[in-house]
Structure formats: structure tokens, C-alpha cells
Amino acid sequence: MAKAFRYSAILLCVVLVLLISGSEQLQSSQGETLLRIQRLLNYPSSLSSWNSSIDFCNSEPNASVTVACYEKSITQLHIVGNKGTPLLPRNFSIDSFVTTVVGLPSLKVLTLVSLGLWGPLPGKIARLSSLEILNMSSNFLYDAIPQELSSLSGLQSLGLDDNMFAGEVPNWIGSLQVLSVLSLRKNMLNGSLPDSLSNLENLRVLALAHNYFKGEVPDLSSLTNLQVLDLEDNAFGPQFPQLGNKLVSLVLSRNKFRDGLPAEVTSYYQLQRLDLSNNTFVGPFPQSLLSLPSVTYLNIADNKFTGMLFENQSCSADLEFVDLSSNLMTGHMPNCLLQDSKKKALYAGNCLATGDQDQRPISICRNEALAVGILPQQKKRKPSKAIIAISVIGGIVGGIALVGLIFLAVRKVKSGKTIRKSTIRLIAENASTGYPTKLLSDARYISQTMKLGALGLPAYRTFSLEELEEATNNFDTSAFMGEGSQGQIYRGRLKDGSFVVIRCLKMKRSHGTHNFMHHIELISKLRHRHLVSALGHGFEYYLDDSSVSRIFLVFEYVPNGTLRSWISGGHAGQKIHWTHRIAAAIGVAKGIQFLHTGIVPGVYSNNLKITDVLLDQNLVAKISSYNLPLLAENRGMVGHGASSGASKDLSLSARINQDEKVDVYDFGLILLEILLGRSLTSGNDVDVLQDQVTDIFLWFLYLVCRETLSNAFFPHH
């Protein structure tokens, strides 16, 4: 029995020795690989504790070095050097180094950061077929990203930041189906991004900042898991990228984006950081971004955002930093940004009504806002015969349309359906009508006002009271031109010698300047070739409470007489030719169209008369009397809702339609006077003409066709 026990003990000892020696042999093999890596890296200080006796798998991890093992195999290797580590010596071989690293075939996580590695990244690194995370940031790797990485089907994170990789992002990147992090910041990558990025359905982080990318960003709206998008300091643009709504951080700063922001941006409810700075974004700034529930950082500095800020705008409770600097915004900074010490707000370089940070005159912001989006003038070409033919047809159709308006207007009189203007002139410019202020910068307005550059109009601006007093000799009676529903009217001469018309409105209510700014914003848009355009405004204040006592509206001066005087021979015995009559009719139509559709909200019920149509020195027709928003406000009216007792129950659209018909009727009367060449002084004059409308229609059509054909084929005739 004792002998058998001794044999069993000896056998057990032999087995234990074999097992221990086998374990030491495995550990020795992996240890030798790690020690070789230490030598190839030129013995960095972070690996100073490595030696032949260390138990790597059980060594204590730290911020610089971590070795993790699973079932006797190294699965994770993290080596992080000091920031700014220089290149390894000239005898360093990146190929030998990678050959050594792939001697750890079970690696799932490989981090080699700030180690001075240099050279093209060898494709053989893809032999680590189990690799899930690869981070080789802050080295000196160059050339293209090796295609062999496409075989790493399990790769979840690829970080190659702060190297010198060049070329384009390869199209095969879209084949890494489980990739959730792609970070290529601070390289020399260029070109456009591949559309295959949209295949990365699991992508959560896309960081491509500080490269040389350009062009449109691919459609990323299908990446429903994308939370971080960093495209800073490239040349992406001009369109805002199409994205999902689960973003937490969006950085587009220092690119070439120059369009407006899409409405979807205001639905990024998880967004915490938004940086759009140093681009050329245009259009109204969506103020609801300030109140996104999760936002903590918002930077839109150095763009061309427009719009008016309001003191009562709400802000997110988590918002910590806001930079609105160097845009074209007006109004007042929200109190939620100024009165909360936990929030830092920068807003210099706008045109805001605040004095604690540098602001520009409001005229500068308006002038630059008008200039946004102007297209370069194309080289004039001689029109082809086809273009001439189209022009002829267009002229004839336009003439028919004009006369058709006369026909319809007079027919309405005959059938008793025309609405005569018993309603007071109005304008739908009030918050209660449902029109947000940002609509005042509507694209339709921009497209119209872009044409003003050739007219030589000065920029809309604010006039001081002293400047207006000097222009009118202290509002002397010699400068007085008349008084009507639009207040007292004076003629003035500015310091530059130009003449202006100044309308003085006395306010019946005591309000501060900010109460009128939304009206002023609309008035500043009343600038068109066929309107007597607004040039600026000024305020006079009560001394006791600094509220506004009078508002002065400054318009261009058109001294060449009325359209009626020119067609009736009352202008020094002169009459205008039919060519100019047709042009005047078209001009009035374009002016009315602009008042109705060129700005938002439209201006209706303008009480148009032919005596309110002036001709400038080039015989261009300009409507001089149209509805002003401050008039309705000063009379206590509120939008279209105060039109009359009979129309209070009508919907907004119905009242607009009604007021539009009123202007169409007035236009019909103006057209009749243009055709007849004499005044229509009463409704009886219109009734007498009812039976002659058809003949007038045909006669005017003949004139339009004759003039159009003559101008098209015999321009010098």
C-alpha cells in the first residue's frame, strides 16, 4: 500500500511539472514577442517595467500600458507614449514592427498611440483577424489607408487620428458592417466622401475634422445610430448635410456651408453640442435652437444669419455657452442668456440693441443681408431668333393678361360683385395672425430685392432726428408737402444733396422702440423698382419716459409728376407714347404683385389711384401710396382681424382674398385711365364704359401686339 502511494505521488509530481513547464513555455513565447516590441520601440519610458521575469498577463494596468489575457492568450495590448513623441530612429522598420505585432494572433484590441511610428501602414496588420478595435493615433503614418483592413469583418472601431494619411477615404469602408467608430482627424485626406458611408448602419461616431475633404456630404440620414459627427476644418458644402435626429454632437465649423438651416435641425432633441461657426450660413437663425432640451454648447459665430432676437426668448436650462458673434441679427439679446450667471454668451459684431458688446449700425446688417446670395452677372449675349419669338409671344400674352384684368374688373362692376373699399386699409403684421418674424426674411423677398442693385438705391438705414431736422430746415412750412392718412409729409434734402420724402407719424400710444421694430423690419423690405422705396426711419422720444412720440419714415423722392398728368397732357402739355403707357401698366402690375407676394405677410387694401403712380426721370412707374404697417398699429388695429365689423367672422385667407380683389379692382380703373387717356372721376364714368369694354380690350390688344413686334424686330425704329 505504501509503495503504491509513493508511485502515485511521483506520477502526480511529474504531471504538475509538465503542466507548469508548458505554461511557462506559452508565457515565454508571448513574453518574447512583447519584449521584441519593446526593443523595436526603442525602449520607451512607458515600458520601463517590462523584463524577462514579469508576468505580463497579471501585471497591473495603468494609463500607459495594459496587457489583458484570456485563456493563456493576449487579447488586448495598449501602449500609449508621451504626447509629442518624436519619430523613431531611421533604422526603425514599420514592416518589421507589424510583423512582430501579428505574432499575437488573438488580439482583439490594439492601441499604439504616440509612439513615434513612421512609414506606410503595412496591410499585413489585417492578419490580426480577430481585431475589433484598432487605434494607431498620433504617430507619423502616411500614404493611403491599406485596403487589407476591409477583411476585418469584426472591426468595430478604427482610430487613425493625427497622422499623415493621404488620398481619399476608400469606398470599401462601407463593407465594415459592424463599424461603430471611424475617427480620421488631423490627416491629409482629401477628395469627396464615398456614398458607401451610408451603409454603416451601426456607426455612432464619424470624426473627419482637420483634413482636406471637399464637396457635398453624402446622405447620412439612414445612419439612425449616429450620435457624433465632427467635420470641422474641411471644405464641405454648400448644402447642409442630411442627417438623422439622434445626434448628440454636431460640429460643422470652418467649412464652406452657405445655405440656410433645414427645419429638421430644430428636432434634434438629444443634441448637446452644435458648432456651425466660420461658415457662410444664411437666412433666419432658428431661435428654437436655444431651447433644445439637451443643448449645452451652441456656436454660430462668423456666419450671415439674419433675423430678430427677442428678450422673452426661452433657453434650455442646461445651456452653458452661446456664441452668436459676427452675424447680421437685430433686436435684443434674450434675457435668459444675460441674466443667468451660469450661461456665457458672446454676441459682438451684430446689430443688436445692446451696448455691452460691440455692435454695428443696423443699416450695415440690412445692407449685407440684401447682398447675400447675389449671383454674378452673366455675360450678355445677342438674343437668338427663338428668344425673340418667345419674347414676342410673352409680350402678347402679358398684354392679354393686363387687358383681361380690365375686362374682369369692369365685368365685376356690371354684375354688382365688386367690393368697394368701405374697409380700412390693413396689413397682417402682428404675432396674433400667426406669422413668425423670421418670415420677414422670406426667400421671395430676397429674390426680388436682389434686383435693386442696379437702381442705385442707398442701403436702408436709421436716420437721427437731428439729420432729419437739418434736411427739412427744422420741418419748416416751406418743406411741407401735405397731410393725409399717412401722416404729415415733408420734402427734405440730405447732406449728400439727394432729396427724400419724410412721412411723420405721431404715435397715440406710449411704447419703447422695441415695440415698433417688427413693423420697421417689414417697412425696410418695401424696396422695389416699381415702388417709391423706403430708405430708412427715425424716432423722436418723450423726455419723461423715453417712449416713442413720433416715427419718421424716409422714402425716395420722385419729382417727375403723376401718371395721370403724363397721359392727359397735364405735364407741361406733354403726353407719353403708347410704349411708355404699356410699360407703366406692366410696372404698376409688378408693384402690386410685389406688395401681395414679394414679402411675407403681404400688403393688401392699398387704396390705389392713378394719382398715386409717379414716373421717375426714365418714365418708370412707381406706386407712391401703399399700406404701411404702422398705420394700422397706430389706429389700434390688429392685422386683418380689424378689417371691419362685417369681416370679423371671416377667416384670414378669406379676408386676404377680399382685400386682394380690392387692389385688382383699383388696378382695373388705373388701366382704363391709361387706355382712355382721361380721368375717371366717378362711378358713373365706369358705368358708361361697361358696354365699350370689349372694344377697348381689342384695341389695347392691337396696340400691345404692334409695339411688341416693332420692338422685337425693329429695335431702332
Q: Are strands 228-230 and 157-159 parallel, antiparallel or unpaired?
A: unpaired
Amino acid at 355: G
Range name among 78-87, 282-291, 651-660 with the lowest pLDDT average: 651-660
Mean pLDDT of the chain: 77
Give the three-state DSSP class for 617. coil
319-327 mean pLDDT: 94
Amino acid at 319: L
pLDDT value of residue 392: 46
Model confidence at 321, in pLDDT bands (50, 70, 90)?
very high
Model confidence at 570, in pLDDT bands (50, 70, 90)?
low
Asked if the bond preceding 262 is cis, omega within 30° of 0, the reply is no
Asked if residue 380 has pLDDT above 50, the reply is: no
Asked if residue 633 has pLDDT above 70, the reply is: no
258-263 mean pLDDT: 87
Name the nearest CA neighbour of 328 among 375, 360, 286.
360
Q: Which residues, 6 or more positions from 207, have their beta carbon under 8 angstroms from its beta carbon?
A: 161, 182, 183, 184, 185, 228, 229, 230
pLDDT value of residue 498: 87
Burial 60-70 (b: 16+ CB within 10 A, else e): eeeebbbbbbe
Asked if residue 96 has pLDDT above 70, the reply is: yes
pLDDT value of residue 260: 86
Q: Which residues, 6 or more positions from 598, have their beta carbon under 8 angstroms from its beta carbon?
A: 444, 445, 448, 528
Q: How far is CA 140 from CA 88, 112, 123, 164, 231, in A?
A: 10, 12, 16, 6, 22
Range name among 46-55, 113-122, 307-316, 439-448 with the lowest pLDDT average: 439-448
Model confidence at 574, in pLDDT bands (50, 70, 90)?
low
> pLDDT tens digits for 438-487?
333 333 343 444 344 335 678 788 888 889 999 999 988 888 888 866 67
pLDDT value of residue 704: 57
399-412 mean pLDDT: 51
* C-alpha 615 chain-centroid distance: 38
Query: Cα(717)–Cα(713) distance, rounded to whole angstroms?
Result: 9
Considering only residues 358 and 230, tell me which one the structure prediction assigns the higher pLDDT. 230
Model confidence at 313, in pLDDT bands (50, 70, 90)?
confident
For 408, list phi and psi in degrees, rounded to 5: -65, -40
Q: pTM value?
A: 0.53
pLDDT value of residue 201: 92
Considering only residues 73 and 321, tell me which one the structure prediction assigns the higher pLDDT. 321
Asked if residue 709 has pLDDT above 60, the reply is: no
Dihedral angle computed from the Cα positions of residues 20, 25, 30 and 31, in that order, rounded to the nearest 10 degrees: 80
pLDDT value of residue 523: 81
> pLDDT tens digits for 598-624?
777 778 777 788 888 898 878 888 988
The enclosing H or E element of 481 equals strand 480-484
Model confidence at 7, in pLDDT bands (50, 70, 90)?
very low
pLDDT value of residue 572: 57
Give percent of the chain above pLDDT 90: 34
Asked if residue 235 has pLDDT above 70, the reply is: yes
pLDDT value of residue 181: 96
pLDDT value of residue 222: 93
pLDDT value of residue 706: 57
Considering only residues 506 and 173, tell me which one the structure prediction assigns the higher pLDDT. 173
Model confidence at 573, in pLDDT bands (50, 70, 90)?
low
Range name among 55-59, 208-212, 627-631, 641-645 with the lowest pLDDT average: 641-645
pLDDT value of residue 450: 39
* C-alpha 630 chain-centroid distance: 29
Asked if residue 30 has pLDDT above 50, the reply is: yes
